[in-house]
Amino acid sequence: MLTAVFLLSSSPVTNKKPIAVVAGDGIGKEVIPNAIEVVKASGAAVEFTHFDWGADRHLADGTTIPPDAFQMLARDFDAIFVGALGDPRVPTNIHAKEILLGMRFKMDLYANVRPVRLLDASLCPLKNATTADINFTVIRENTEGVYMDMGGVFKFGTPDELATQEDINTRKGVERVIRFAFEYARSNGRKKVLMSDKSNVMTYAGGLWQRVFKEVAKEYPDINTQHMYVDALCLQMIRQPQSLDVVVTNNMFGDIITDLAAALQGGLGMAASGNIHPGRTSMFEPVHGSAPPIAGKNMANPMGAILTAAMMLAHIGLAAEAQKIEDAVTQAVREKKKTADVGGSMGTRECAAWIGERVAR
């Protein structure tokens, strides 16, 4: 299932769509160049510009991301392709926060879209699950919730210490992500939107989500609706994943359930995501992190990054190239041309090269 949602313009000079690349740290530096080779093999009319933001640059000169970068990215590029950020040499993870959360917050990329699709039954840890059973999309609110870093501590380090972490939910933020989920369902042939929260305990925030969900749903009589507490949803994802279609939820619950969802499709190495604001430059990144233990060893699974590249192409209007890439990844899984994390024996480069060769045919 591709995610062609909103189209942006191409560069008037070259007629190729400009894409900014931040490979970042760890396995990001391996999977992103390999995914780019696959995109090139597809013949997609895109032009990549590389930025060296990441731990190496930060350690060399203190840069996390230049202050004018967000404006420049929004102005000059149709999409941003990011690998992973995080490096044990930067224990505060400050560069990762400023680059990744900076893009999400400062570019207001409010919808985190995570397609959950099983490409081959062999990848799924569930007994007897078929590819038809696992095919849904999670839309995670991406700019609010507990990620806004609001809160504080009182009597720090004493036995009486008190800590608060605020969960921010604005009417505007909740409404736009719920509307996005309905629009996504409509434009991708989906039939149902399920909203998940914990409104039995988080009554104020959950109450807002409940009211807004019911109101927005009235504008989409062609789409069925459902509500589920997030704990019940976790159970449902394992017992009846085939009942899910489009799921919309807040930032924290989305973070948690999409790791569970990644497991259903074969693990972190298989999962793709987009950080989207309709009509603006959006950012695409594989769900996995920088995976320091396997970085630099040609072991990382490049499929998540390659599927992310396909999602990005579909988003900027190159659906045919995106489909070719998705088909080639599916074929690679079926023919066991894959890395060790998903039961294969190939290296990162060899796996990506096989996919690229298939795409070029």
Among candidate residues 108, 167, 255, 327, the one labeled active-site is 255
CA distance 287 to 73: 21
Write out the DSSP string of 230-242.
HHHHHHHHHH-GG
Residue with tokens 């931040």: 22
3-state secondary structure of 153: strand
**Binding residues for ligand ATP (CB under 6 A):** 27, 84, 86, 268-269, 288-294, 300-301, 304, 341
Partners of 21 in the β-ladder: 50, 81
- Note if 231 is an active site residue: yes
- Tell me how far, at minimum, the Cβ of 26 lies from ligand ATP, in Å: 6
Q: How far is the CB of 296 from ligand ATP (least distance, A)?
A: 13
- Indicate the pairing of strand 224-229 with strand 162-165: unpaired
Question: Nearest 5 degrees, angle CA 249-CA 258-CA 91?
Answer: 110
Q: Which is nearer to ligand ATP, 82 or 316 (CB)?
A: 82
Check if 197 is active-site: no
Q: How far is the CB of 291 from ligand ATP (least distance, A)?
A: 3
Nearest-approach distance from CB 94 to ligand ATP, in angstroms: 13
Set 52, 76, 149, 231: catalytic member: 231
User: Is 198 designated active site?
Assistant: yes
Q: In 3D, which of 200, 179, 195, 343 has the Cα closest to residue 267? A: 343
DSSP secondary structure letter of residue 318: -
**Catalytic residue, candidates 198, 324, 337, 338:** 198
Residue 313: CB partners within 8 Å, gap ≥ 6?
Answer: 39, 42, 44, 46, 319, 321, 322, 325
Closer CB to ligand ATP, 237 or 291, in the complex? 291
Question: Any catalytic annotation for residue 25?
Answer: no
CA dihedral for 232, 236, 237, 242, sign (positive or negative): negative
User: What DSSP character marks residue 136?
Assistant: E
Which of these is catalytic: 191, 259, 297, 336?
259
Q: Nearest-5° angle of CA 117, CA 140, CA 231?
A: 85
Q: In angstroms, what is the minimal distance from the CB of 288 to ligand ATP?
A: 3
Q: Which is nearer to ligand ATP, 42 or 301 (CB)?
A: 301
Out of 17, 25, 78, 147, pick the active-site residue. 147
Q: Say which residues have a Cβ less than 8 Å from residue 161's Cβ, sequence separation at least 6.
A: 153, 154, 155
- Angle at Cα 276 formed by Cα 10 and Cα 262, nearest 5°? 120
Cβ 27 to ligand ATP shortest distance, Å = 6
CB of residue 306 vs ligand ATP: minimum separation in angstroms? 11
Nearer to ligand ATP, 102 or 304 (CB): 304
Q: Select 124 or 294, whichever has its Cβ closest to ligand ATP.
A: 294
Q: Is 324 a catalytic residue?
A: no
Residue nearest to ligand ATP (CB): 289
268 vs 320, beta carbon nearer ligand ATP = 268
Angle between helices 319-334 and 348-360 (to 10 degrees): 130
Between residues 244 and 307, which has the closer beta carbon with respect to ligand ATP? Answer: 307
CA 86, chain centre distance (Å):
16
Catalytic residue numbers read 147, 198, 231, 255, 259
